[in-house]
Every structure is written in structure tokens, then in C-alpha cells.
Amino acid sequence: MRVGIYNRWLPTRGGGEKHMLAIAECLSAEHTVEVLTHQRVGKAELEEKLNVDLSRVSLRCIPDLPDERLAPFTADYDLFINASHMNFIPSRAPRSLMLVYFPTPVGLSPWGLFKRRVGLQLKRRFMVPDYTEGFYGPEDIAGRRYRWTKGRAKLTIPVPRGLRALKLRMMLSGFRPPGSSPVNAAFSIDGREIGRCRLEAAGASFAPYELIVREIASSPLALEIHADTFWPKGEVGWEEPRDLGVAIAAVEVTHPRYRLYRFLFERLFKELGVRLDNLPPKLCLDHLDTYDLICAISQFTCQWIKRYWHRESEVLYPPVDVEAFVPLEKRNMILSVGRFFAGSHNKKHIPMIRAFKDMVDDGLSGWDLCLAGGTTPGVVHQEYLDKVKDAAMGYPIRIYTDVSFSDLAELYGRSKIYWHASGYGEDVAREPIRFEHFGITTVEAMAAGCVPVVIGKAGQLEVVRHGVDGFQWQTLGQLRRYTMDLIHQEDLRQRMSRAAIQRSRLYSREAFEERLMRIMHRLGI
């Protein structure tokens, strides 16, 4: 049987991608499996980062098209699995399954529709450029975010009525292999060329380019970009590469409205700016009816699929490599693992630091709080990390950024207690996206014998049993109290540590494969 598994975000190599590739690995034992995406990532890189075996899996690069236009690719398979967040591709395969990490509220939720309408209206009012078509998804290099164009791309810029001329400034790069010819790019509006440039092949460097648009006839302004393209050298396992034009790092409108937008949402209200930059697309829920089954990563996600989409779903918990995490000689360490990034759905490092500092001020000594996680490119996220470091100064708090897997496994193994605070101070009924939808790091910590003391909300409720293999807290006072109980009662900590190790086995790779096979049986496979 031919199986196709789609994930637009494969190059991010995150937890969702690991979940999806674990499905591919498992099914490849008996079936022909292809993973479909739009950007190139080497197999070896995926295997090393996500600890999966892709030796029997093929990677297929398909054109980056709207969801509806990707439907013909699904007909190539006997089973099509959509494992891509916020992509509703109509399936034409005989059997289809959708894997959902968390449902977007856009669709049946009046609140979600309202927020999206307000966000779009703000972007129109402030003349924010939109990458309408012909662009690949955003990528990061050296702290700068950019997008590749295809051979032809279109930018649209809302303009106020009566505006007759406009200046645009953008950062461009050729990004070609050494020795390549210069890159030609042309810019036009309504078929009328308004600019042309020639970019030297370069590494991760950008050059400014300005365009003056005269005689604006309509809004939004549609700017077409035509560029020379090249096909990157193929990698083993890929059927076809992307067709790349030029890289655009920024498009700025030299108009008071756009300058005000940047001042408001890049300096004063940065969190709102991040939300505006990531407005979800309008999705067609009717496409869900082309799938035989929807799988969620937790009961928490199931509940919100029912609430947002009015659909039933079944749980397929993510696989956790529990065998890779083992207890070592324990030290007086409290550990929390989570990426450092700004936004209301971050890992709440500052409240945890505040709780630990209060414990130290009340007399706790000989203990360290360790915060480990990956860093996120961008000024906003770097400023957040700096705030975390500033808050930790003067106390036994250690911050580990971008640690290797082996170093992280040792941190888990040495630590006695594990903290998790995602969602603290948030309203789970209104903003469930800001909470932990499952809790992979919690399971990893438990496998290493760390006793979890986690916020008692969302997916953490399914992982940790209060008073049995960990504690669930609602307030920072409870977080401190439960932690002090474990610090002062060694017998309690050891008993819960053993229970936590046992509990973690429910989410092992073996347990995952058993659940997956039951789901395949339901699909008649």
C-alpha cells in the first residue's frame, strides 16, 4: 500500500514533526511511505535531530500551493495522512487521516473570526504588505527572517484612497552557490515594469533596494516580482528541489501609517505585533469531511476539536523516547525545559524564577534552578531571553541555551524535580493555545526520575497524577509548597520518582506503535 504523509513545517524539526515521522517510520515496515513537504531537509539531519529511522521512507518535495490545489497529490496514495498544522487539504485518497496538534479557532468560533477580522483590518489600515502568492514560508538566518520567491511572486499593499505615489524599501539577496551568475529581478504593477536590479551571488548578506510607485490606480497595490531561478543540488531521497528566485528579508512602506504601525507593534506592543504577523489563514472546515478519522495528540486537544470544529476525534499520544532518559546520580537541582521566546504562550520562565527566588529568600540553600531550552531568532525573542537572564542574576539559577541532546539527557538524569508553568496567568477557557497541549518534556523528565511539579491545567492533567507520580499546582504558592515537600521529605521524593518512571512508559515508542496499529485497523488497513 502507498502511504503519503504531508507536513508543510517539516524543516522546523519540532515535536509535531517527530510525531509525524514516527508514524512514517512505523508504517514503512510494511508499506511504501512518502513524506510530502515544500522545503528541502536532508534525511540524515531529520534522523539525528528527531531520533527516527527514515531508511525505508522517501521524501517528496511538491510545489507550494494553496490547500485546495494540493488535493491532486493526495490521489497518488492509498492512505493520505495530513499532519500539517493549519492546513486543510481536501483528500482524494481512498483512506484519509488528519493528525491535529491543536485546532485553530478560525471557522466556527465567533471569537476567532472576530479576532481575525480585527487583525486584518489593522493591517489594511496601516498598509502592511502581504506575501500573497509565489513565496515559500519564512526562514531564519543569522537572526534575520526572510522568504524565498519563486520565479514569479506577488506582494499586495493596501493603500488609502487618493494616494498617488508610494516608495517601497526591501532587502534582497541572491543566495546562490559560489561561482554562480548574478541574479536578475524585475518588478512590475499591472504589467508595467517599475524597476529592475541585478544581485551578485552572495552568502547570508542582503542589499537594500528601493522602488517608487507612481500613478496608483487601485487598492490593494499588487507588486509582481519576476526573478531568475535556480534548482539546488539534489539530496539523497528527494524527488525534486524547490525552484528558488530571490530572498526578501523585509518590505517596508515609507508612509506615515506604516511607520506608526512599526512604532506601535514592534516597539510598544511587541506581543500584539507577533500575533498580527501570524494571523491564521481562513480555513474551510468542509474539507474535514474528506477524512475518515481525525487523531488528536491528547484528550485536551480532542475537547477543543469538538468545541471549535464540531467533530469527533481519537487520541494518538506522541511517542516519547523514554528509553533515552535514565536516572543518574541525583543532585539538588530543579529543572525546567522549554524554548526561550516572547509571547503569551511562552514557557513562563519569569514566574518560575520569581517562585524560586522567594524560596531562596525564605531560607532554601544548596539547590539550583536550571532553565534549559533552544533560542529563537529575532530581536523580540532575544530581548525576552535577556530579561530572563537579568531576573536570574544574584541567585543560584543556571540558564542553558541550545544544549545538545546528550547534555539535556544528563540534566534530566541529574535533576530531582521538574517544573513546568506554560499557561500560568492565562485563561484556558479563552486562550487554550497558550497551554501545554500534551507535555513531552514532562514525560522525558519523568522517565529520568524527576518528580514533576507542573501547572494543573490542559495536557499536563493527562500526564501527571496528583500526589501519585507528581504534583499539580494552580498558584505559585502551591508550586513552592509542593516543591518544599519534596525537598524535605526524601522518602516521598524517591517514591514519586519511581512512580514517575513507571508512568512515563505509557508514552513510549512501543505504546505509540500499538495505538497507531489499532487506528490503522479501524481504517481497514
Residue 397 domain flag: yes
Q: Which three cell numbers stand for residue 249?
A: 528579508
CATH of the domain at 182: 2.60.120.260
Is residue 354 one of the residues assigned to a domain?
A: yes
Query: What's the pLDDT at 78?
Result: 97
pLDDT at 250: 83
Q: Which of 254, 275, 301 is the last residue of a domain?
A: 254
Same domain, residue pair 355 and 315: no
Residue 10 maps to which CATH number? Answer: 3.40.50.2000
Query: Has residue 118 been placed in a domain?
Result: no
324 by Cβ neighbours in 10 Å (0-12 / 13-18 / 19+) ranks as middle
In the three-class reduction of DSSP (H, G, I as helix; E, B as strand; rest coil), residue 226 is classed as strand
Q: Does residue 328 share a domain with residue 375?
A: yes
What is d(CA 492, CA 418) in angstroms, rounded to the nearest whole number? Answer: 15
**Do both 342 and 477 map to the same domain?**
yes
CA 435 to chain centroid: 14
Residues 300 and 326 in one domain: no
Give domain status of residue 269, yes or no: no
Instruction: Give the predicted TM-score (pTM) of the model.
Output: 0.73
Report pLDDT for 231.
Answer: 67
Same domain, 97 and 246: no
Find the domain containing 487 and state its range: 322-506
The reply to whether 346 and 309 lie within a common domain is: no
Instruction: Look at residues 52, 47, 7, 56 and name the one whose alpha carbon lies nearest to residue 27.
Output: 56
Cell of 467: 500526589
Residues of the chain with pLDDT under 70: 106-113, 140-144, 177, 202-204, 231-242, 278-284, 344, 377-378
pLDDT tens-digit map of 481-495: 999 999 999 999 999
Helix (H, G, I), strand (E, B) or coil at 432: helix
Secondary structure letter of residue 246 according to DSSP: -
- The whole-number pLDDT of residue 107 equals 53
Q: Which residue has the cell 477557557?
A: 429
Count of domains for the chain: 3
Q: Are residues 492 and 375 in the same domain?
A: yes
Q: Read off the C-alpha cell for 314.
A: 481519537
Q: What percent of the chain has pLDDT over 70?
A: 92
In a domain, 483, yes or no: yes
Whether 266 maps to a domain, the answer reads no
pLDDT recorded at residue 235: 39
Same domain for 326 and 436, yes or no, is yes
Q: What b/e readout covers 139-171, taking b as 16+ CB neighbours within 10 angstroms?
A: eebeebebbbbbeebebebbbeeeeeebebebb
For the segment 71-127, what is each residue's pLDDT rounded down to a tens digit? Answer: 999 999 999 999 998 888 999 999 999 999 999 875 545 666 677 788 888 888 999
Whether 250 and 391 share a structural domain: no
- Based on the fold, state whether residues 201 and 241 are members of the same structural domain: yes
